[in-house]
Structure formats: C-alpha cells, structure tokens
Structure 1
C-alpha cells in the first residue's frame, strides 16, 4: 500500500548511481514539473536557471543543448513525487511509479508486454508481489523508451526484460532501440511507497 500524502517527505532526497545523479521531491499532482526540474538541473550543473538551455524534442523528450551539451536529463512524476535524473556522456531515461493495487496488471501485461513477461507476472501467487513486479517492469520499459526518445508510442512489447538475480535486465529489443546489451538499468526506491528505474546507454 502507498503511504498517505502526509507521509511523503517534503525535504528533497538526492542520490547517485553509476555516475548518474537523481533527485526526489514532493510535488503536487497536476502542477507543472518542468520549472522544478529546470531549477534542480541548473543547480546540479552549477549554472543560473536562465542559462540552462533546455529544449523539447518533437516527441516531448527534454534535451540539454550547448553549453550544456554532453549532459542528458529525464524526469518522471507519479502520485505526490517528482524524480529527476542527470548524466553525462549517456542517453538516459527515468521513470517512477507509486505502489498501489493494480487489479488489471495481468490484463495490461497480456495486451502490452511480451508473452514471456506476462507468464513471469502470472507466476506470482501473492497479489502485492505481482503488483510490485508489474510496476518494476513498467518502470524499466518506460525508462528505456524515454531515453530512446519515442516514449510509450514505440511499443512496450518491443523490449523484453528478464529477472537476473534480483535485478531486471534487458534481454532483447527491437533494432530501433539498438543492441539490448548496450542498455543498463538501475532499479531503486526513491521514497517509501515508490519504485523507480534509471536506464541509460
């Protein structure tokens, strides 16, 4: 179960993994995320917000251009939280999801995921474990597709993840995403009641 809104920390939490930086903060659902993301990115890059050259690609992907070229960014909003990520020399995407019951998880997986992923989810007898596994897969897929730049419209079925140990690994993908082994994934919990994934190549 997700924590009540009052339990979400109002103090931002920051972290790093594999040379990538991230920041998690409380954010009111339905309010603009771009200004908040831009403020943190400017601070992380040690520039004034007005000097940050942040643009949107035609499909909506945020992109840093000169003089911040060489860095990449992504952010995701779910529930009452906003997760922002920054990296250098990589293409990156991030996604976070609030943990809550997903009664249609298997139906969604059957329609949008690969058959093998659907079978993996169906193997979970406990509904809470299945819901978490579903959201892990969703975050992993969306993080890769955000990094790629096409987002969900590219097709969630065009990339297949498998669990290796306790981690998800991209096993195969559409040639449009490049080689599966070029992608790396870092799963984590940015705040209680949330799961997230950083993907990069």
Structure 2
C-alpha cells in the first residue's frame, strides 16, 4: 500500500534567478539524499525566446539536434530540444561544475532508456545519479535520485481518448484493471482513473529500463486499494499495489518496486516508480525551471511519499 501525504502549501512560484542570454554558469545542487527525489520541470509554452532555441542548438549533440529538427511540427521540435536541454542542465547541476551540459554523452539501451557517460579524466568522481525523463506537449519533467533506479511519467489530466476507455483498456490492461475501470459508473471519474493507471504503468516499465516493448502492460497490474468514489471524499488517499500477472514473460518483471502518484502544476498526473528501500518515507522536492535563463523554485512543494505497507 503506497500513498502520498499532501501537507504542502499552495504552489506560488518564486523566481530565484533570472539573467539574459548568455546565461551564467548553472547553479550547482547538492546530491539528493537517500531519502529524497529531486524533480525538475519546464512548461514549453512559457519558453518564447529564440535565444533559448539557439542555446539548445549549441548545447545538444548533433544526433539530438537532428532527431528534433526532423520532426515536422515546430511545437514538436521545440519540445524535443527542451527535453534534451532539461536533462543535460539538470544532470550538470550535480557535478560541482566539473561537467558542463554540452560535455555529457549518453548511451541508449535496446529498449531506448538513456544512461549517461560522465566525462572523467580521473580528477573527480562522477555522481551516483539515477534519472528519468517524461514529457507531454505541455510539460517536460526530469527526476533524479541517488539511491534507486527511477521511472517517471506525466500525463495531462484533460487528455481525451479517441476510443471508448473500456475498449481501449481491454487491449492494453490486465483483467483486474479492466474490472476496476468497468466498475466506475461516472465517466469523468473513469477517465481520470484510466489516466492515473496509465501513468503508473508507464513509470514502472521505465524504471525497469524496458519500456512498453519489453514489458507490455497486460503482463502486470496495478491495483488501487480504494475505489474512485471513496477517494473523491479523501483526495489524499492514493493507496495502490503492484501485481505481477502470471505469464510466460512475467519472470522478467519484479514487484520489488514502490509507486507514488501526485498532481503537478494543477494540470498533470505525475507518477514515480523506484526500488523498494528500508525508508518508509521519501521527500519529493520540485523545481520549475526555464533552462539556462531562470530557475524557478516552487516553494511549498516538498511532499512526503509514504510507502508504508
């Protein structure tokens, strides 16, 4: 049973650094403790300066730039550029200025999950970071830990499905999840529960490093401890558990993971998956950023993820 305590103050962004291009060196951050998750996000629509796009082109690798510019729509190009810039600037913050965003190199596993190759000449020890990135057209997020592999997913709360939710879920979800969704009569509540489940399942397969192709959603189930109508009277209750369905490929999966879910920027469901640990509680610290131009700390967004069973 896993839940999140929402004792935080209302979100009131506070600009803590703002400089015109060219930007000053990135502010450096201490590593997350073993009891912390650091979460960074950017809103693409708030990034309007063409100078930032120029900075993306200066910072990203040729492959990253080529992949972004091959996209047909300018909005998709912008999102791809910002996603890679957010990842590079976030990781560079934890190097005590020993590595710049443009110096980082990445390897991609066969399922598409990136791993960083730290530039190292023997003069410093690279930080023991785990990270994951998720993005929609309206929000891009990067999460960092030091104590566990991590997978994250963000999904827009207003996202609509072209097909009937139950028909769609029948193609991708496990039987217990389908039964759960079918039991919700209110269509809006059903849609929100579907989106929450989808985000949690995405976070799980990303934490495994396998992605959807390596761990199809039907091979495992996530079960909420309370039904949607019960949670509507207790919005702080987000208790759920991970279930591995018996299947020929189930041995490749593991239930040794913790799941967390919270609301981000009042517009997105955000899911976190990381390895189970001795700690019952982890602190989630959230920053909103304008990469390389301003860093906006969102005060009062420290949340406690409660993983008690």
Pairwise TM-score range, normalised by the shorter structure: 0.7 to 0.9
- In structure 1, what is the Cα distance between the partners aligned to 2:156 and 2:92? 27
Alignment RMSD: 2.5
Query: Which deviates more from structure 2 when the two are superposed, residues 20-29 or residues 84-93?
Result: 20-29
Which of 139, 147, 151 is 1:93 aligned to? 151
Q: 2:182 aligns with which of 122, 136, 141?
A: 122
Is contact 1:53–1:65 with CA below 8 Å preserved after alignment?
yes
The 5 Å alignment of 1:1-201 reads: 18-27=35-44, 29-30=75-76, 31=78, 32=80, 33-47=83-97, 48-66=100-118, 68=126, 70-100=128-158, 101-102=160-161, 104-153=164-213, 154-165=215-226, 166-173=238-245, 174-178=250-254, 180=255, 182-201=256-275
Distance between the aligned counterparts of 2:262 and 2:92, measured in 1? 24
Residue number in structure 1 paired with 2:292: none
More strand per residue: 1
Structure 1: gaps of 5 or more residues? 1-8
**C-alpha deviation, 1:54, in angstroms:** 3.4
- The TM-score with structure 1 as length reference comes to 0.82
* Pair 1:70–1:177, CA change in 2 (3 A): farther
**Counterparts in 2 of 1:114 and 1:18: CA distance versus 1, 3 Å:** farther
Higher Cα radius of gyration: 2
Tell me: higher relative CO, structure 1 or 2? Use CA pairs within 8 A at least 6 residues apart: 2
User: What TM-score do the two structures reach when normalised by structure 2?
Assistant: 0.55
Three-state SS of the structure 2 residue aligned to 1:189 is strand
Once the 2 structures are TM-superposed, how far is the Cα of residue 44 of structure 1 from its aligned partner?
4.3
> Can you give the 5+ residue segments of structure 2 that lack an aligned partner in the other structure?
1-12, 17-31, 46-74, 119-124, 227-237, 276-309
Shift of 1:36: 2.2
Is the CA contact 2:86–2:142 (under 8 Å) kept in the aligned structure 1?
no
